[in-house]
């Protein structure tokens, strides 16, 4: 009769092996269980720094219970029993045999500070992962009433995590993540984005005097290469004070090679012939879409860095800060577009070095010396 597998037997092979940090946490807990006084050498971590609930509960018990007398601790397991009882209050499944396993797998209890630093580094990576995931989710949430403000708040929260990690692991110059950054995302609704961008281009062509009112809008804010190129044509013509209408824009597009991709001149002319609304309105819509896309891409870049265990905290800080710089740049343009830019702080007047005296007495003294 063929063997009938138990209900969960087939799932055992699917369980991923423990990550290196699991063994690091075991070594650290084993060192502290064997020599509780080594807790004085451990810093930078808390219970939530551990990757499993069992390890977190054990560390919380070790750090909250009074430490045993070293001589008594060497003779009996009373303190270990207290640790086990306290930890079981937070998580089930812990056994006395597991505590003894932790002690046995610890190579060198004196290396507890090094183990703690490794746990701290892995916790920093998980924190960065979580903050990046929150930013990505927020950038995708179309139900938010104030999407830009919420996304920027999440970006600030992510930046705060990066700053905290940098304070714990000061970045080293030139150490960049080796992880390949993901490709920029496409617009959530490409058809809507393309339609609004066409209206923007047509409205700017019909009302060229309004082009200079949106200096914060860049070609890269538009989702299609042809639209980005046509916006460059419009801004170039406006900068040169040349006539702007569908024909002059089409000619500028030809000079810039925008029609080399197969775009038909008639389609471009039809696109530029249907204005509606105002340049400022459609420009702000395009900038908002660009800001959300940049926020999502930033989150995915940082998430990719944090998902790679080969990246050190130093590399994560450098890579995350470079990615966050993109949000800072588009945030500044958004503030100018919406009139929400913070007021400029007046710099104090520079301190000047003391010059020669200009009093009448001083002038007279100089004249007297000159005649001698």
pLDDT digits (tens, 9 = 90+) for 284-302: 999 999 999 999 999 999 9
Structure confidence at residue 187 as a pLDDT band (50, 70, 90): low
- Beta-carbon contacts of residue 143 (< 8 Å; ≥ 6 apart): none
Question: Over the stretch 95-137, which tens digit does the pLDDT of each residue have?
Answer: 999 999 999 999 999 999 999 999 999 999 999 999 999 999 9
Q: Which residue did the predictor score with more confidence, 371 or 210?
A: 210
Give residue 15's pLDDT: 55
Fold of 122-340: DNAb Helicase; Chain A (1.10.860)
Residue 11 tokens, joined = 């799932």
pLDDT beyond 90 at 190? no
Rg (CA), the chain: 32
Q: Where in the chain is the domain with CATH 1.10.860.10?
A: 122-340
Give residue 342's pLDDT: 63
- Beta-carbon contacts of residue 2 (< 8 Å; ≥ 6 apart): none
What is the C-alpha end-to-end distance of the chain, expressed in Å? 128
Q: Which of 105, 94, 96, 15 is nearest to 55 (CA)?
A: 94
- Beta-carbon contacts of residue 286 (< 8 Å; ≥ 6 apart): 193, 196, 197, 200, 217, 221, 222
Distance CA 85, CA 77 (A): 12
What average pLDDT does the segment 211-223 reach? Answer: 95
Give residue 353's pLDDT: 43
Distance CA 56, CA 111 (A): 19
Give residue 265's pLDDT: 93
Structure confidence at residue 345 as a pLDDT band (50, 70, 90): low
Neighbours of 75 (CB within 10 A): 8
- Beta-carbon contacts of residue 67 (< 8 Å; ≥ 6 apart): 36, 37, 39, 79
Distance CA 43, CA 120 (A): 9
**Which class does domain 17-107 fall in?**
mainly alpha
Residue 314 tokens, joined = 């130093």
Chain centroid to CA 290: how far?
17
Taking the model in full, what pTM does it have?
0.80
Distance CA 283, CA 111 (A): 59
DSSP output for 167-186: HHSPPPTT----SPPPPPPP
Burial of 351-369, coded b for 16+ CB within 10 Å and e otherwise, reads eeeeeeeeeeeeeeeeeee
């Amino acid at each position: 009769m063929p063997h009938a597998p138990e209900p969960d037997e087939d799932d055992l092979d699917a369980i991923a092996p423990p990550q290196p940090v699991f063994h690091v946490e075991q070594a650290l807990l084993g060192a502290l269980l064997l020599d509780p006084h080594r807790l004085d050498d451990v810093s930078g971590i808390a219970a939530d720094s551990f990757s499993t609930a069992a390890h977190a509960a054990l560390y919380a018990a070790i750090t909250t219970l009074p430490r045993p007398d070293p001589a008594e601790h060497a003779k009996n397991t009373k303190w270990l029993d207290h640790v086990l009882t306290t930890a079981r209050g937070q998580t089930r499944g812990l056994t006395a045999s597991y505590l003894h396993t932790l002690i046995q797998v610890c190579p060198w209890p004196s290396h507890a500070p090094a183990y703690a630093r490794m746990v701290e580094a892995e916790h920093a990576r998980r924190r960065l992962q979580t903050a990046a995931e929150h930013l990505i989710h927020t950038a995708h949430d179309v139900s938010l009433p104030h999407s830009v403000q919420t996304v920027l708040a999440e970006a600030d929260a992510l930046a705060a995590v990066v700053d905290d990690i940098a304070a714990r692991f000061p970045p080293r110059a030139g150490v960049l993540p080796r992880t390949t950054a993901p490709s920029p995302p496409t617009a959530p609704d490409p058809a809507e984005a393309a339609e609004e961008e066409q209206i923007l281009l047509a409205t700017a062509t019909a009302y060229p005097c309004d082009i200079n009112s949106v200096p914060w809008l860049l070609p890269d804010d538009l989702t299609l290469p042809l639209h980005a190129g046509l916006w460059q044509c419009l801004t170039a013509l406006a900068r040169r004070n040349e006539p702007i209408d569908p024909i002059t824009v089409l000619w500028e597009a030809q000079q810039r090679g925008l029609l080399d991709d197969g775009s038909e001149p008639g389609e471009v002319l039809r696109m530029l012939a249907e204005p509606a609304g105002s340049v400022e309105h459609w420009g702000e819509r395009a900038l908002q879409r660009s800001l959300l896309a940049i926020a999502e891409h930033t989150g995915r870049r940082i998430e990719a860095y944090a998902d790679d265990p080969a990246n050190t905290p130093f590399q994560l800080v450098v890579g995350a800060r470079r990615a966050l710089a993109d949000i800072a740049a588009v945030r500044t343009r958004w503030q100018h577009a919406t009139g929400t830019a913070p007021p400029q702080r007046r710099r104090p007047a520079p301190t000047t070095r003391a010059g020669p005296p200009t009093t009448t007495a001083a002038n007279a003294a100089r004249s007297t010396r000159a005649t001698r």
